Structure 1
Amino acid sequence: MKRWPLIVLSLFFATAAHADTTFVSGTVGGVWDLSGNPYIVQGSPLIPADSTLEIQRGVRIEFQGPFAFIVQGIMNCLGDIGDSIYFTQDTVDFPDRWQGLRFSSVDQPSLMRCVVAEFGGSYNGTIRVTDSQLTLEHATVRNCAIQSFNVDGGQVVLSDCHFADNGVQGGCGGSLRAQDATISLQNCRFERSGALDGAGLCVYRTSLTAYSCTFDHNEGAIWGGTIYADDSDLDFRNCIFESNAAIMGAATYIIGESSTIFERCVFARNHAVRNGTEGTYGALFLPANGPHRISNCLFYRNVGMNNGAIFANGIVTIEQSVFVENTDNPIIGGSPDSVRYNAFHVRPPSLSGMPSGFGILTETNGNGDSTDIYGNFFSDPGFDPAGQYGEFSLSFDSHLRDAGNPNGTPDPDGTIPDLGPYPYFWLQAIDDLTLYRVGESLDINLRWSSIPEAVEYRVYRTSGGEFDWDAAYYVGTTDSAGFLHQNAFSDTQNSYTYIVIAFDSHQAITWQIPEHVRHITSDSDPAFFGN
């Protein structure tokens, strides 16, 4: 008898835990809010063409089988950062995965803000757009077994979105596939996705623009570790392609009547490899007709037989870019029309396909470096990992500074363009620097007048009475007009010379490295896949 109260109490709590559950199937509309949580999908919901469904923050939609959510009207998901809306599934209790959100023939755009869509399993995509308009903001699409996003016609805008762990080694486009569409990406990240081709993006007859996006650790089984494109117009600016892999075109595989722009992009540690078998074309494979314009990009430690960095045919311009430690057989292949004002860490052993006169050093640029008639030269890049852009920031004395086209668009500080994606920004000189020793300590105090535009100041020092950049070393950074150099007199030198450089990193905001990539760059072996 003593057990009965416990049993009754247990039953009471079980009932209370599910008191607000809402079971969903068939025609839906109106408003879904927290009072109905969770929304259990037991059939395929439908928003008719004349209806709107508003889903408020914190709502959970849980699918209990292979059902699709069909949107012929308008769906507005209004989550908040930290209080997202979830489209999800318990794949243990319900192993047949849900079939995605399907937006079709909608006259007015739908909005998905602060949404997580996960564990979908449809060949049509966990989110599918057909001749519709859809905007995603701060959305995450992850752990989808086949394709995560599929666009067949229409217009899609994605901003601050994250695609992770999607796709399989089959099909094209593990994270995003599009045809006959217009796609805009801003500050999005595509990582750890897989596909037969184009593990990150696969596009046909599509116009795609991407600004400040990151594509890292994606793996294509055959063509295009990140991108496969055919008959499409592509515009990538301020993007990072890091540690992607495929047997051909570790970063991109772009064919047909496609045209491309890659401006201020980083291609680092991409590797043409599959299951231990070395492949071809370490970064960009661009046999498409073009035109192709590659400007102010960095190619760093990309690995691939035939071409480590770029293979390009058609109308091709490569300018103000930097090539460091790529496979050099050769670094650039194909038949580029114009290769001007670029820097190579070493002289390429093969110059086949290059314009006549490339690599023959007969000129001198404004920095005193020997160049060919096109302004190309061979030099260590002079990176400063402590700089504002991380490991690929330019040092104060880098030969890449002011080495671009003197008749080109100036950098934000009004100087001749720097090479590579991240410019060095000059402010006026510090000309009233004062130094004094702090009592009998080993410390030196530095003081100077503040510069209104300066965000921070960098301090350098050499021994002796004159400053020598070849012997200089970095002391530290401060955001105020003063710096305490502790233990400055700990060595045996009696004389030192200091220089303080002011700069405003905010002025270079259009070249800002995406925040979410700062932690993935490293000197690790690029061959992380397939070995």
Structure 2
Amino acid sequence: MKKALVLLAVFFAIVAVSGALADTTFVCGDVSGVWDSSGSPFCVVCDVRVPPGSTLVIGPGVDVIFMSEFGFTVDTNAVLKAIGNASDSIIFTSRDTTLRHDGIMLYSSADGCTLSYCRVENGGSGIRCSYSSPAIINNTISGNSGDEHYGGGIYCHNSNPTITGNIISGNSGTYNGGGIYCGGSNPTIRNNTISGNSVFGHGGGIYCEYSSNPIITNNTISGNSASLGGGIYCNNSNPTITGNIISGSSGTYIGGGIHCDNSNPTITNNTISGNSVFGDGGGIYCEYSSNPIITNNTISGNSASLGGGIHCHNSNPTITNNTISGNSADDNGGGIYCDYSSNIYMSNDIILGNTAGFSGGGIWFDGDSVLTIVNSTITENAATDSVGGGICLEDNSSLTLINTIVWNNTAPTGEDISVNYSFGDPCTVFAAFCDIDPAMCFVQFGSAIVWDTGNIDANPFFADTLFHLSDSSSCIDAGAESVYVSLWDTTIYAPLDDFEGGIRPFGSGWDIGADEYGADIVREHPREMPQTISITAYPNPFNSAVTISVGAIHELPLQIEIFDINGRIVYEMPVGEGLVPSRVSGDHKGRHHETAIWRPDGSIGSGVFLARIRGTNTAKKIIYMK
């Protein structure tokens, strides 16, 4: 009965359109050849298909109007080239928005499929790719709704399309991926505006699952919404998320900006701001053994119940060179919240001006979590109703502070640090070469702060609102290159650069805090010791094996040690036997080179490691992306 009614509606629509548009072309079934503006509009009166091995070219100025709920399929080894231009686009739309078309479906299509300067709108879905890798460039994809429940704007299944320069807005889905859905796919998503998309499930802007590893770079991802992961949701996937603006997105439960579930994304050089959730993780939420690398981001103005900026739940992120500022939590962890045995390494971070309605204005962590903070600045954070304006920890958690400033935070008790004793489980803080006022720290009976060597208690005298050190700061040259932490029998090393990439150390020693005073020179290459030994690594980052090359003036057997972020040696390998002499341009000395290859085994997870030549200060930071 429904089919009969649809056909009747199509019949009357054809009669109406035929009378109004003399040049109308009606299409149905298999199509190929060329559609140009002289035959426009092309009215789709049943499902159409570019059959296997065929090609359809659609030119500028063509309108493709679907008369009912019909689809457009590009079949096996077929080619679609729908190429408009900036002033005369191609339009794919529905005549009646209550009878939405089924979208453009590319199924095992041939290489070379392109949609460019098209408007794909008012569909049950926009563009669907299955085992296909089209170029989707400079289109507007809007107002579509994922009838298949996934990917309202673009759906990728085992596909690797190039998605560049598009406006993807106002699309929706029932389950996952309001804007873009990636399942077992590795698309390149670059220079798009992905805004105002929504989904009841996960990933309002972008959703990645089934080992998808998309490259998501230089996009504006804003105003999207979902239950989990308003901007981007990663499930068992390892996307590269670089250079994006991720803002104004919301989640009903967790992960306003980015949500990582058993995933290892690389999150670098983004602005993540103004995102919100009613639950946890306003900016970034990590859970279930996720190991994200979070580097060089600005994470600001996000809000949540727990973890306004970042929330880590049973995860092991590496958080370096970020500014985490102006975030808020209704309860705990205005800047960062960590729980359930999370293991976090932080360096060169500025944690600034975050607020918590209860405890841990800058950072809160509990539940057997371990946090290492090196060369960071934690200041002007506030816990408005309880303890730990800068940092608060409880429930058998431990904190190591090296070369770090914790200063001028506010709370009713424990303005800078609060070390709680809860549920019968004490907490421990180890501090060395830090600038912290002990009078601003609160330690409950049973817990402890171990004040090791090199700590000072002095106003750091910041020079500006970027928290550079002034020339009168006591933090200059007051840090250390490395510290042996006797409590946990490990050695922790200072980073080789400061938060802006300036070379450490500058002057007679390492500085305390995220800034290295006077270090205006930004390192473009790894630091070497050219007078005796050099070390390089390639590729870096790497995902299966890294080649480490050592150069030495003398023929010496050398040993490379690989350290994890906690200073533990995870691998050792000899180099130096059978060194081949070579010349280094410009120094006219016989320098010998040898290489060694490190292939991490299954017990080693993704993260930042240090390759160091035993008995020297020569080291190279390497990043393993499993």
| Bucket of the pairwise TM-score, normalised by the shorter protein | 0.5 to 0.7
In structure 1, the residue matched to 2:577 is none
- Native 8 Å contact 1:402 1:415 kept in 2: no
Deviations 1:34-88 (A, max 9, x none): 3561122342011011111112133222234231321011463353xxxx32212
Normalising by structure 1, what TM-score?
0.64
- Report the CA distance shift for 1:356/1:251 in structure 2 as closer, same or farther (over 3 A): closer
For 1:6-405, list aligned pairs within 5 A.
Answer: 15=22, 20-24=40-44, 25-28=47-50, 30-34=55-59, 37-42=62-67, 43-57=70-84, 58-64=89-95, 65-72=100-107, 73-74=109-110, 76-77=113-114, 79=116, 84-89=117-122, 97-106=123-132, 109-122=133-146, 123-125=149-151, 126-146=153-173, 147-168=178-199, 170-180=200-210, 181-247=212-278, 248-272=280-304, 279-290=305-316, 292-304=317-329, 305-312=331-338, 313-328=341-356, 329-330=359-360, 331-334=362-365, 335-346=369-380, 348-349=388-389, 350-352=391-393, 353-355=397-399, 363=433, 383=464
Letter in 2 for 1:141: I
- Report the CA distance shift for 1:413/1:280 in structure 2 as closer, same or farther (over 3 A): closer
Give the aligned length. 385
Deviations 1:330-379 (A, max 9, x none): 121223331111112248445424526676987478xxxxx986989975
Distance between the aligned counterparts of 2:240 and 2:515, measured in 1? Answer: 18
Distance between the aligned counterparts of 1:322 and 1:373, measured in 2? Answer: 23
Of residues 145-154 and 348-357 in structure 1, the stretch that sits farther from structure 2 once superposed is 348-357
- Native 8 Å contact 2:454 2:479 kept in 1: no
Deviations 1:105-142 (A, max 9, x none): 23xx3211112111111121121111111111112210
- Native 8 Å contact 2:203 2:228 kept in 1: yes
Distance between the aligned counterparts of 1:36 and 1:100, measured in 2? Answer: 19
- Native 8 Å contact 1:209 1:234 kept in 2: yes
Distance between the aligned counterparts of 2:432 and 2:374, measured in 1? Answer: 14
Distance between the aligned counterparts of 1:162 and 1:100, measured in 2? Answer: 16
Instruction: Name the SS of the counterpart of 1:199 in structure 2.
Output: coil
Deviations 1:306-330 (A, max 9, x none): 1111122432101111111111521
In structure 1, the residue matched to 2:592 is none
In structure 2, the residue matched to 1:426 is 520
Deviations 1:447-493 (A, max 9, x none): xxxxxxxxxxxxxxxxxxxxxxxxxxxxxxxxxxxxxxxxxxxxxxx
- Report the CA distance shift for 1:132/1:357 in structure 2 as closer, same or farther (over 3 A): closer
Letter in 2 for 1:76: C
- Native 8 Å contact 1:340 1:374 kept in 2: no
Deviations 1:195-231 (A, max 9, x none): 1111111121111111111110011111111122211
- Report the CA distance shift for 1:240/1:15 in structure 2 as closer, same or farther (over 3 A): same
- Native 8 Å contact 1:298 1:421 kept in 2: no
Distance between the aligned counterparts of 2:225 and 2:471, measured in 1? Answer: 41
- Report the CA distance shift for 1:293/1:86 in structure 2 as closer, same or farther (over 3 A): same
Distance between the aligned counterparts of 2:225 and 2:164, measured in 1? Answer: 23
Deviations 1:230-265 (A, max 9, x none): 111111011111011002211122211211111011
- Structure 2 unaligned regions, length at least 5: 1-17, 25-37, 382-387, 407-429, 436-450, 482-493, 523-626
- Native 8 Å contact 1:129 1:154 kept in 2: yes
Distance between the aligned counterparts of 2:456 and 2:101, measured in 1? Answer: 58
Letter in 2 for 1:426: D
Distance between the aligned counterparts of 1:193 and 1:238, measured in 2? Answer: 20
Distance between the aligned counterparts of 1:116 and 1:20, measured in 2? Answer: 20
- Structure 1 unaligned regions, length at least 5: 1-10, 90-96, 273-278, 366-370, 385-391, 429-531
Instruction: Name the SS of the counterpart of 2:198 in structure 1.
Output: coil
Instruction: Name the SS of the counterpart of 1:426 in structure 2.
Output: coil
1:381 is displaced (CA, Å) by 6.0
Of residues 12-21 and 181-190 in structure 1, the stretch that sits farther from structure 2 once superposed is 12-21
- Native 8 Å contact 1:20 1:35 kept in 2: no
Q: Give the CA RMSD over aligned residues.
A: 3.7
- Native 8 Å contact 1:297 1:420 kept in 2: no
- Report the CA distance shift for 1:357/1:71 in structure 2 as closer, same or farther (over 3 A): closer
Distance between the aligned counterparts of 2:314 and 2:256, measured in 1? Answer: 17
Distance between the aligned counterparts of 1:208 and 1:260, measured in 2? Answer: 10
In structure 2, the residue matched to 1:409 is 496
Distance between the aligned counterparts of 1:403 and 1:118, measured in 2? Answer: 56
Of residues 115-124 and 16-25 in structure 1, the stretch that sits farther from structure 2 once superposed is 16-25
Letter in 1 for 2:399: P
1:13 is displaced (CA, Å) by 9.7
- Native 8 Å contact 2:433 2:479 kept in 1: no
- Native 8 Å contact 1:264 1:421 kept in 2: no
- Report the CA distance shift for 1:424/1:110 in structure 2 as closer, same or farther (over 3 A): farther
Instruction: Name the SS of the counterpart of 1:154 in structure 2.
Output: coil
- Report the CA distance shift for 1:47/1:161 in structure 2 as closer, same or farther (over 3 A): same
Of residues 334-343 and 57-66 in structure 1, the stretch that sits farther from structure 2 once superposed is 57-66
Distance between the aligned counterparts of 1:204 and 1:188, measured in 2? Answer: 20
- Report the CA distance shift for 1:302/1:112 in structure 2 as closer, same or farther (over 3 A): same
Distance between the aligned counterparts of 1:420 and 1:237, measured in 2? Answer: 18
- Report the CA distance shift for 1:270/1:35 in structure 2 as closer, same or farther (over 3 A): closer
Greater relative contact order structure (CA < 8 Å, 6+ sep):
1
- Native 8 Å contact 1:236 1:262 kept in 2: yes
Give aligned-pair identity as a percent. 15
Distance between the aligned counterparts of 1:422 and 1:129, measured in 2? Answer: 46
